Protein backbone atom coordinates (compact mmCIF):
# COMPACT_ATOMS: atom_id res chain seq x y z
CA UNK A 1 0.00 0.00 0.00
CA UNK A 2 1.38 3.41 -0.99
CA UNK A 3 0.49 5.73 1.86
CA UNK A 4 1.40 9.43 1.36
CA UNK A 5 0.68 10.12 5.03
CA UNK A 6 3.09 7.49 6.41
CA UNK A 7 6.20 8.41 8.40
CA UNK A 8 9.65 7.69 7.04
CA UNK A 9 10.41 5.05 9.65
CA UNK A 10 9.31 1.72 8.23
CA UNK A 11 8.30 3.13 4.83
CA UNK A 12 9.67 1.36 1.78
CA UNK A 13 10.44 2.78 -1.65
CA UNK A 14 7.92 2.60 -4.50
CA UNK A 15 7.24 -0.91 -5.83
CA UNK A 16 9.23 -1.79 -8.97
CA UNK A 17 6.16 -1.79 -11.20
CA UNK A 18 5.82 1.97 -10.64
CA UNK A 19 9.07 2.32 -12.59
CA UNK A 20 8.45 -0.28 -15.30
CA UNK A 21 4.79 -0.43 -16.33
CA UNK A 22 3.33 1.71 -19.11
CA UNK A 23 0.12 2.38 -17.17
CA UNK A 24 2.05 4.55 -14.72
CA UNK A 25 3.79 6.50 -17.49
CA UNK A 26 0.46 7.55 -18.98
CA UNK A 27 -0.96 8.56 -15.60
CA UNK A 28 2.18 10.51 -14.73
CA UNK A 29 1.89 12.61 -17.88
CA UNK A 30 -1.64 13.53 -16.83
CA UNK A 31 -1.41 13.72 -13.03
CA UNK A 32 2.19 14.80 -12.42
CA UNK A 33 3.55 16.65 -15.43
CA UNK A 34 0.09 17.73 -16.58
CA UNK A 35 -0.73 19.52 -13.31
CA UNK A 36 2.46 21.45 -12.56
CA UNK A 37 4.49 24.36 -13.85
CA UNK A 38 7.59 23.35 -15.83
CA UNK A 39 10.52 25.42 -17.14
CA UNK A 40 10.31 25.45 -20.94
CA UNK A 41 13.34 27.56 -21.84
CA UNK A 42 15.58 30.42 -20.80
CA UNK A 43 14.24 33.93 -21.40
CA UNK A 44 17.29 34.77 -23.50
CA UNK A 45 16.30 32.05 -25.99
CA UNK A 46 13.15 33.99 -26.88
CA UNK A 47 14.43 37.50 -26.30
CA UNK A 48 13.94 38.79 -29.85
CA UNK A 49 10.66 39.28 -31.72
CA UNK A 50 10.03 36.26 -33.93
CA UNK A 51 12.15 33.87 -31.85
CA UNK A 52 10.75 30.57 -30.63
CA UNK A 53 11.61 27.31 -28.86
CA UNK A 54 9.80 24.09 -29.76
CA UNK A 55 10.14 21.14 -27.39
CA UNK A 56 8.32 18.24 -25.77
CA UNK A 57 7.25 18.52 -22.13
CA UNK A 58 5.68 15.56 -20.36
CA UNK A 59 4.60 13.96 -23.63
CA UNK A 60 3.19 17.20 -25.10
CA UNK A 61 4.71 19.08 -28.08
CA UNK A 62 4.93 22.77 -27.19
CA UNK A 63 6.02 26.09 -28.68
CA UNK A 64 7.16 29.16 -26.74
CA UNK A 65 7.38 32.22 -28.99
CA UNK A 66 7.67 36.00 -28.88
CA UNK A 67 5.48 37.86 -31.34
CA UNK A 68 6.36 41.05 -33.21
CA UNK A 69 4.83 43.16 -30.42
CA UNK A 70 7.18 41.56 -27.89
CA UNK A 71 4.54 39.40 -26.18
CA UNK A 72 5.44 35.86 -25.08
CA UNK A 73 3.11 32.97 -25.93
CA UNK A 74 3.03 29.23 -25.28
CA UNK A 75 0.81 26.82 -27.19
CA UNK A 76 0.50 23.21 -28.29
CA UNK A 77 2.69 22.37 -31.29
CA UNK A 78 0.16 20.22 -33.14
CA UNK A 79 -1.72 21.34 -36.25
CA UNK A 80 -5.51 21.44 -35.94
CA UNK A 81 -5.83 19.55 -39.22
CA UNK A 82 -3.91 16.24 -39.15
CA UNK A 83 -1.68 16.50 -36.06
CA UNK A 84 1.70 17.34 -37.62
CA UNK A 85 4.01 19.69 -35.72
CA UNK A 86 3.77 23.26 -36.97
CA UNK A 87 7.25 24.24 -35.71
CA UNK A 88 10.37 22.05 -35.96
CA UNK A 89 11.86 21.04 -32.62
CA UNK A 90 14.61 23.32 -31.36
CA UNK A 91 15.26 27.07 -31.43
CA UNK A 92 14.63 29.37 -34.37
CA UNK A 93 13.03 32.51 -35.74
CA UNK A 94 9.88 32.83 -37.80
CA UNK A 95 7.36 35.32 -39.11
CA UNK A 96 4.68 32.66 -38.96
CA UNK A 97 4.42 28.87 -38.65
CA UNK A 98 3.40 26.78 -41.63
CA UNK A 99 2.46 23.15 -41.07
CA UNK A 100 4.79 20.97 -43.21
CA UNK A 101 1.96 18.52 -43.97
CA UNK A 102 -0.79 20.56 -45.66
CA UNK A 103 0.45 24.11 -45.22
CA UNK A 104 -2.00 25.39 -42.60
CA UNK A 105 -0.61 28.65 -41.24
CA UNK A 106 -0.46 30.04 -37.69
CA UNK A 107 0.84 33.31 -36.30
CA UNK A 108 3.32 33.62 -33.43
CA UNK A 109 0.46 33.59 -30.91
CA UNK A 110 -0.84 30.26 -32.22
CA UNK A 111 -3.84 31.71 -34.07
CA UNK A 112 -4.86 29.92 -37.26
CA UNK A 113 -4.42 32.47 -40.09
CA UNK A 114 -4.55 30.48 -43.30
CA UNK A 115 -5.93 27.26 -44.78
CA UNK A 116 -4.81 26.44 -48.35
CA UNK A 117 -7.86 25.77 -50.54
CA UNK A 118 -10.09 26.14 -47.50
CA UNK A 119 -12.62 28.56 -49.01
CA UNK A 120 -15.37 25.89 -49.07
CA UNK A 121 -15.15 25.14 -45.33
CA UNK A 122 -18.30 26.73 -43.95
CA UNK A 123 -18.59 24.86 -40.64
CA UNK A 124 -14.98 25.23 -39.50
CA UNK A 125 -14.11 28.73 -38.29
CA UNK A 126 -10.43 29.67 -38.26
CA UNK A 127 -10.89 32.30 -35.57
CA UNK A 128 -12.49 29.73 -33.26
CA UNK A 129 -9.66 27.21 -33.56
CA UNK A 130 -6.31 28.56 -32.38
CA UNK A 131 -3.72 26.14 -31.08
CA UNK A 132 -4.44 25.40 -27.38
CA UNK A 133 -2.75 28.08 -25.26
CA UNK A 134 -0.64 27.17 -22.23
CA UNK A 135 -0.32 29.32 -19.14
CA UNK A 136 2.98 31.20 -19.09
CA UNK A 137 4.99 33.02 -16.42
CA UNK A 138 8.55 34.36 -16.28
CA UNK A 139 10.59 33.76 -13.15
CA UNK A 140 14.24 34.74 -12.88
CA UNK A 141 15.84 33.73 -16.19
CA UNK A 142 13.34 31.02 -17.16
CA UNK A 143 10.02 30.85 -18.98
CA UNK A 144 7.66 28.57 -17.07
CA UNK A 145 4.58 26.98 -18.60
CA UNK A 146 1.56 25.06 -17.35
CA UNK A 147 -0.68 22.86 -19.53
CA UNK A 148 -4.10 24.32 -20.40
CA UNK A 149 -6.17 24.28 -17.24
CA UNK A 150 -9.02 26.46 -16.01
CA UNK A 151 -7.33 27.33 -12.72
CA UNK A 152 -3.67 26.24 -12.41
CA UNK A 153 -1.89 26.65 -9.11
CA UNK A 154 0.30 29.68 -8.66
CA UNK A 155 3.89 29.36 -9.85
CA UNK A 156 5.12 31.14 -6.71
CA UNK A 157 3.48 28.46 -4.57
CA UNK A 158 5.29 25.73 -6.50
CA UNK A 159 8.62 27.57 -6.26
CA UNK A 160 8.19 28.01 -2.51
CA UNK A 161 11.24 29.31 -0.63
CA UNK A 162 13.51 28.78 -3.64
CA UNK A 163 12.47 32.23 -4.95
CA UNK A 164 13.80 34.12 -1.96
CA UNK A 165 16.75 31.80 -1.39
CA UNK A 166 18.01 32.18 -4.96
CA UNK A 167 17.71 35.98 -4.89
CA UNK A 168 20.72 37.38 -6.74
CA UNK A 169 22.91 34.28 -6.37
CA UNK A 170 22.93 33.72 -10.14
CA UNK A 171 23.11 37.39 -11.13
CA UNK A 172 26.71 37.21 -12.38
CA UNK A 173 26.48 33.69 -13.85
CA UNK A 174 26.38 33.28 -17.63
CA UNK A 175 24.95 30.40 -19.62
CA UNK A 176 27.68 28.38 -21.35
CA UNK A 177 26.13 25.21 -22.79
CA UNK A 178 23.07 22.96 -23.05
CA UNK A 179 23.22 19.19 -23.39
CA UNK A 180 20.59 16.49 -23.51
CA UNK A 181 21.18 13.04 -22.04
CA UNK A 182 18.93 10.16 -23.06
CA UNK A 183 18.99 7.54 -20.34
CA UNK A 184 17.63 4.00 -20.19
CA UNK A 185 15.83 4.45 -16.90
CA UNK A 186 12.51 5.72 -15.64
CA UNK A 187 12.62 9.43 -14.74
CA UNK A 188 11.98 8.58 -11.07
CA UNK A 189 15.11 6.40 -10.92
CA UNK A 190 17.16 9.44 -11.94
CA UNK A 191 15.42 11.66 -9.38
CA UNK A 192 15.83 9.01 -6.66
CA UNK A 193 19.56 8.99 -7.35
CA UNK A 194 19.71 12.77 -7.07
CA UNK A 195 17.75 12.85 -3.81
CA UNK A 196 19.64 10.26 -1.75
CA UNK A 197 21.47 12.85 0.36
CA UNK A 198 24.85 12.10 -1.18
CA UNK A 199 24.56 8.43 -0.13
CA UNK A 200 25.83 7.25 -3.53
CA UNK A 201 28.53 9.88 -4.04
CA UNK A 202 31.43 7.95 -2.49
CA UNK A 203 30.91 4.65 -4.36
CA UNK A 204 29.69 6.12 -7.68
CA UNK A 205 31.57 9.43 -7.96
CA UNK A 206 35.09 9.07 -6.50
CA UNK A 207 36.25 12.22 -8.27
CA UNK A 208 33.32 14.31 -7.06
CA UNK A 209 33.52 12.98 -3.51
CA UNK A 210 37.08 14.30 -3.21
CA UNK A 211 35.66 17.83 -3.43
CA UNK A 212 32.84 17.38 -0.91
CA UNK A 213 32.79 16.82 2.82
CA UNK A 214 30.23 14.03 2.72
CA UNK A 215 29.67 13.87 6.46
CA UNK A 216 28.43 17.44 6.34
CA UNK A 217 25.51 16.66 4.02
CA UNK A 218 22.28 18.28 5.16
CA UNK A 219 18.76 17.88 3.81
CA UNK A 220 15.84 20.28 4.31
CA UNK A 221 12.24 19.80 3.13
CA UNK A 222 10.03 22.72 2.11
CA UNK A 223 6.63 21.35 1.13
CA UNK A 224 7.23 19.54 -2.17
CA UNK A 225 10.71 21.07 -2.61
CA UNK A 226 13.96 20.00 -1.01
CA UNK A 227 17.43 21.44 -0.49
CA UNK A 228 20.51 19.27 -0.05
CA UNK A 229 23.72 21.05 0.89
CA UNK A 230 27.28 20.04 1.62
CA UNK A 231 30.54 21.82 2.52
CA UNK A 232 33.15 21.78 -0.23
CA UNK A 233 36.77 20.79 0.23
CA UNK A 234 39.96 21.10 -1.77
CA UNK A 235 40.44 24.33 -3.80
CA UNK A 236 36.86 25.39 -3.00
CA UNK A 237 37.18 24.72 0.74
CA UNK A 238 34.98 27.02 2.77
CA UNK A 239 32.28 27.12 0.11
CA UNK A 240 29.03 25.18 -0.10
CA UNK A 241 27.44 22.99 -2.73
CA UNK A 242 23.68 23.54 -2.97
CA UNK A 243 21.26 21.11 -4.61
CA UNK A 244 17.63 22.18 -4.95
CA UNK A 245 14.90 19.86 -6.22
CA UNK A 246 11.59 21.37 -7.27
CA UNK A 247 8.64 19.01 -7.72
CA UNK A 248 8.27 17.16 -9.92
CA UNK A 249 11.56 17.03 -11.83
CA UNK A 250 13.62 20.24 -11.93
CA UNK A 251 16.94 20.71 -10.16
CA UNK A 252 19.20 23.71 -9.74
CA UNK A 253 22.71 23.18 -8.40
CA UNK A 254 25.24 25.82 -7.39
CA UNK A 255 28.80 24.90 -6.45
CA UNK A 256 31.54 27.48 -6.43
CA UNK A 257 31.73 29.40 -9.70
CA UNK A 258 29.61 26.86 -11.57
CA UNK A 259 25.88 26.16 -11.62
CA UNK A 260 23.61 23.90 -13.60
CA UNK A 261 19.94 23.08 -14.00
CA UNK A 262 18.49 19.68 -14.83
CA UNK A 263 15.02 19.03 -16.19
CA UNK A 264 14.11 15.34 -16.10
CA UNK A 265 11.38 14.30 -18.53
CA UNK A 266 9.79 10.89 -19.14
CA UNK A 267 10.50 9.43 -22.56
CA UNK A 268 8.30 6.37 -22.41
CA UNK A 269 8.38 3.43 -19.99
CA UNK A 270 11.89 2.83 -18.67
CA UNK A 271 13.42 5.86 -20.42
CA UNK A 272 13.97 9.53 -19.71
CA UNK A 273 15.59 12.66 -21.11
CA UNK A 274 17.61 15.01 -18.93
CA UNK A 275 18.14 18.56 -20.19
CA UNK A 276 21.22 20.20 -18.66
CA UNK A 277 22.05 23.89 -18.79
CA UNK A 278 25.45 24.97 -17.45
CA UNK A 279 26.28 28.42 -16.10
CA UNK A 280 29.57 29.92 -14.95
CA UNK A 281 30.79 33.20 -13.51
CA UNK A 282 34.09 34.90 -13.89
CA UNK A 283 36.29 34.79 -16.97
CA UNK A 284 34.80 32.36 -19.53
CA UNK A 285 38.16 31.28 -20.88
CA UNK A 286 37.61 28.31 -23.28
CA UNK A 287 39.97 25.96 -21.47
CA UNK A 288 38.35 26.67 -18.11
CA UNK A 289 34.87 26.09 -19.52
CA UNK A 290 35.95 22.88 -21.24
CA UNK A 291 37.46 21.48 -18.04
CA UNK A 292 34.34 22.29 -16.03
CA UNK A 293 32.06 20.68 -18.61
CA UNK A 294 34.28 17.61 -18.86
CA UNK A 295 34.22 17.15 -15.10
CA UNK A 296 30.44 17.56 -14.93
CA UNK A 297 29.90 15.25 -17.90
CA UNK A 298 31.93 12.56 -16.12
CA UNK A 299 29.56 12.80 -13.13
CA UNK A 300 26.52 12.55 -15.41
CA UNK A 301 27.94 9.47 -17.15
CA UNK A 302 28.55 7.81 -13.81
CA UNK A 303 24.96 8.57 -12.78
CA UNK A 304 23.65 7.25 -16.09
CA UNK A 305 25.50 3.96 -15.63
CA UNK A 306 24.14 3.30 -12.13
CA UNK A 307 20.62 4.43 -13.03
CA UNK A 308 20.49 2.12 -16.04
CA UNK A 309 21.83 -0.70 -13.86
CA UNK A 310 19.01 -0.08 -11.37
CA UNK A 311 16.35 0.07 -14.09
CA UNK A 312 17.44 -3.25 -15.59
CA UNK A 313 17.18 -4.95 -12.20
CA UNK A 314 13.74 -3.56 -11.33
CA UNK A 315 12.25 -6.21 -13.61
CA UNK A 316 13.50 -9.00 -11.32
CA UNK A 317 10.82 -11.21 -9.75
CA UNK A 318 12.79 -11.18 -6.51
CA UNK A 319 13.11 -7.45 -5.82
CA UNK A 320 10.12 -5.71 -4.23
CA UNK A 321 11.60 -2.36 -3.20
CA UNK A 322 13.79 -1.39 -0.27
CA UNK A 323 13.67 0.75 2.88
CA UNK A 324 14.88 4.31 3.28
CA UNK A 325 17.97 5.22 5.31
CA UNK A 326 16.75 8.10 7.53
CA UNK A 327 20.17 9.71 7.94
CA UNK A 328 20.47 10.15 4.19
CA UNK A 329 17.28 9.68 2.20
CA UNK A 330 14.83 12.20 3.63
CA UNK A 331 14.46 14.02 0.30
CA UNK A 332 13.94 10.75 -1.58
CA UNK A 333 11.25 9.66 0.87
CA UNK A 334 9.50 13.03 0.51
CA UNK A 335 9.62 12.67 -3.28
CA UNK A 336 7.96 9.25 -3.08
CA UNK A 337 5.26 10.64 -0.80
CA UNK A 338 4.59 13.48 -3.23
CA UNK A 339 4.39 11.01 -6.11
CA UNK A 340 1.95 8.76 -4.26
CA UNK A 341 -0.18 11.76 -3.38
CA UNK A 342 -0.20 13.08 -6.96
CA UNK A 343 -1.12 9.65 -8.33
CA UNK A 344 -3.99 9.24 -5.87
CA UNK A 345 -2.61 6.34 -3.85
CA UNK A 346 -3.59 5.78 -0.24
CA UNK A 347 -6.13 8.59 -0.22
CA UNK A 348 -9.70 8.27 0.94
CA UNK A 349 -11.83 6.82 -1.82
CA UNK A 350 -8.81 5.62 -3.80
CA UNK A 351 -7.11 2.28 -3.98
CA UNK A 352 -3.84 1.01 -5.42
CA UNK A 353 -3.73 -0.60 -8.84
Provide DSSP, 11-70: -BPPPTHHHH-HHHHHHHHHHTGGGS-EEEEEGGGG-STTEEEEEEETTEEEEEEE-TTS
- Is the pLDDT score of 183 beyond 70? yes
Class of domain 38-152: mainly beta
Stretch 347-352: mean pLDDT? 39
The CA distance from 89 to 213, in Å, is: 41
Summarize pLDDT for 85-143 with one digit per residue, the tens: 999 999 999 999 999 999 999 999 999 999 999 998 999 999 999 999 999 999 999 99
The pLDDT value recorded for residue 211 is 61
Residue 200 and residue 33 in contact, taking contact as beta carbons nearer than 8 Å: no
Give the residues across from 180 on adjacent strands.
275
The CA distance from 242 to 239, in Å, is: 10
- Is the pLDDT score of 349 beyond 60? no
The CA distance from 194 to 199, in Å, is: 10
The pLDDT value recorded for residue 267 is 94
The pLDDT value recorded for residue 347 is 40
pLDDT bin (cut points 50, 70, 90) of residue 3 is low
- Is the pLDDT score of 150 beyond 90? no
Summarize pLDDT for 206-255 with one digit per residue, the tens: 776 666 666 788 999 999 999 999 887 766 656 889 999 999 999 999 99
DSSP 204-251: H-HHHHTTB-GGG-EEEEETTEEEEEEEB-GGGTT-EEEEEEETTTEE
Stretch 49-64: mean pLDDT? 96
Our CA angle for 185, 189, 193, nearest 5°, is: 125
The CA distance from 59 to 28, in Å, is: 10
pLDDT bin (cut points 50, 70, 90) of residue 286 is very high
The pLDDT value recorded for residue 213 is 65
Q: Express as a percent the part of the chain with pLDDT over 70.
A: 92
* CATH architecture for residues 160-334: Alpha-Beta Complex (3.90)
The pLDDT value recorded for residue 199 is 82
- Domain parsing of the chain, residue ranges: 38-152, 160-334
What is the pLDDT of the chain when averaged over all its residues? 91
Stretch 259-285: mean pLDDT? 95
Stretch 293-311: mean pLDDT? 94
Summarize pLDDT for 7-19 with one digit per residue, the tens: 787 788 999 999 9
The pLDDT value recorded for residue 238 is 64
- Is the pLDDT score of 1 beyond 70? no
Summarize pLDDT for 195-218 with one digit per residue, the tens: 998 888 778 877 766 666 667 889
Q: Express as a percent the part of the chain with pLDDT over 90.
A: 78
CA end-to-end distance (rounded Å), the chain? 10
- Is the pLDDT score of 165 beyond 90? yes
Amino acid sequence: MLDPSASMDGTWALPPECYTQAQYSKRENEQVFGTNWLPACRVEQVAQAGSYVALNLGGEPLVVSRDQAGQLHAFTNICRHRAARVAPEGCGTAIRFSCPYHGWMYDLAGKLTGIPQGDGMTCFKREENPLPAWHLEVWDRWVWVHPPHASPGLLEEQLGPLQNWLGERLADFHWVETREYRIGCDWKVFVDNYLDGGYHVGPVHPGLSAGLLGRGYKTEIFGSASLQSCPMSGPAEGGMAWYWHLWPAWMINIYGDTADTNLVLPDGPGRCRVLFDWFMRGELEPGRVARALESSDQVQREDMNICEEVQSNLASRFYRGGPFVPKRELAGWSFHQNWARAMGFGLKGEKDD
